[in-house]
Structure 1
Amino acid sequence: MKIVIMAHCQGLAFANCVRALLPDHDVYYLSIYNAKNDEGKEQFIEWISSCDLILTIPLGSEWGPLATEKLTIRFPGRVRRFPAIAFGGYHPDISYIYMPDGSFVGSPLGDYNSTIAAAAYAAALPAEDALDLYNSLFFNRLGYFQEFERAKQWLLSICRSMGYDLSAEFDRWVRQGSFMHSVNHPKIIVSASIACETLRIANIPFDDTINLHDIVPDDQMNGPIWPVYPEISHRLGCSGSYIFKAPNHKNELWNYMDICTFVHESYRMYENIPKEVLLSTPLVRKAFDLMEATL
């Protein structure tokens, strides 16, 4: 069987898990980032037309011929969705901030920004004062301690709508500690679970005794890794720190920084970003308003 997997940054780990479970099948991975223009989309269509099974994350109408609904019509019986995992319960401080042209405002961890750091910069607080806001009192005011349960219910609901009941798997993930590197980069334990469940739903037999964690590399570890803040980890029963890992290229030593360096570097990167841009993100605006009201 020829199987193709279409996804974003989570797709490679998922595809490697599927390939490990089905070593006698031809398993391929296509990154949707290579299909952003019409030519790229048509090349994808030409390539996947010969596949027996197309596994794809849900893609909307903005993806044109690659939209899941269109693929399902064009290749009846061959298309199956699998969930893209997003979970902010361990990292409620992460915000995406957009420039007017749609590009991302960056931080030392790529596209991820600290809500508190961005709001503090917009409020003209010195970096040293911003660092003082990383505490349980301010986290509680921002709703950080409530985010885990909200994110859990949202994730399980989305997965159930796609035919995936991950309640038991979720509990298993949690027992092993934080299962996310960031809000949308799951660890390999999650990718392995989704791969196994996808094959079960598709009625494709595989060896369920394989321990995927032992043989499939976690490529997401090359990307940014956001820490679980100790005040949050203590309540969730997992390990935590204020050590951030920046994205790295293959064969590079990894670049780590503490919260002090991260905030100061974020401030430096915000120097040419208008205040209104930072405050266009609702979470940053909420933190800013709390600062204005209490400091």
Structure 2
Amino acid sequence: MAASSAYRGRFAPTPSGPLHFGSLVAAVASYLDARAHGGEWLLRIEDVDKPRALPGAAQTILQQLHDHGLQWHGEVIYQSQRDTTYAAALHTLQQRGLTYYCSCTRKQIKARGPYYTGYCRDKKRRAEGNAVRFRNEHPCTEFQDRILGKVQLASDFAAEDFVLFRRDQLYTYQLAVVVDDIAQGITDIVRGADLLTPTSWQLTLWSELATYQPRFAHVPLALDQNGNKLSKQNHAPALSAEHVHQQLRDACAFLGLTELPKAANTAQLLSAATAAWHAKYLS
């Protein structure tokens, strides 16, 4: 599929809990970039890892975005409803000889070293009970980031034969995110720097499944007082429905948009932030 010439971005949270400040930073960055380009901002709920999804979390996230004035274009896409699409993409890769079955456990891989080195590549494992790995013949070891510039990625990690389909019969994030971005015609991916490293695998998959590649922009991570990433796993507090305006202003300040004028409401604040984003990142 070829990309549209028009800008199309997205925000793709995992519904393992409500949004926190770190999530808001990523959402605001991608939203402002889409608005500054005069493009579309899509919303996708990344619940492909079904056991991690908490009941009701997706609806909470939608409400939080609405409360903060972050309105998306079109229908919300849920990865948990797209197994047929992922199966078709996996079949395409299998037909081209780009996959193999792997029986290795995490414990076995760790015992052999820090990276998976293709132990099962030529073992001709059976499908039953095994994972499916991508035969990574042409790894991506660098790419151009709109914010960070030229990014060099660890070659050993980039060259790993990563998993596409897990032993527990779930499609992986790496496969789902690329398939969905291609299907939605995403042109620009603005997200947190914690996803910098897997960009190598994703670009490798893009080159096999599409005729174009998106532009990436990775923004800094919000950290707690101990220097840890704000995350649901680290029990980051959920966004407050009572402090929407201040949370938006704080997220903008974190992104370097520190001199925004006073605004009477979220719409005015986001309009000013869009202009500031354009001046900082697009001019």
Tell me if TM exceeds 0.5.
no
TM-score (norm. length: structure 2): 0.27
TM-score (norm. length: structure 1): 0.27
Whichever of the two has the greater Rg, that structure is 1
More helix per residue: 1 or 2?
Answer: 1
- Flag the structure with more relative contact order, 1 or 2, with Cα contacts below 8 A and sequence separation at least 6: 2
More strand per residue: 1 or 2?
Answer: 2
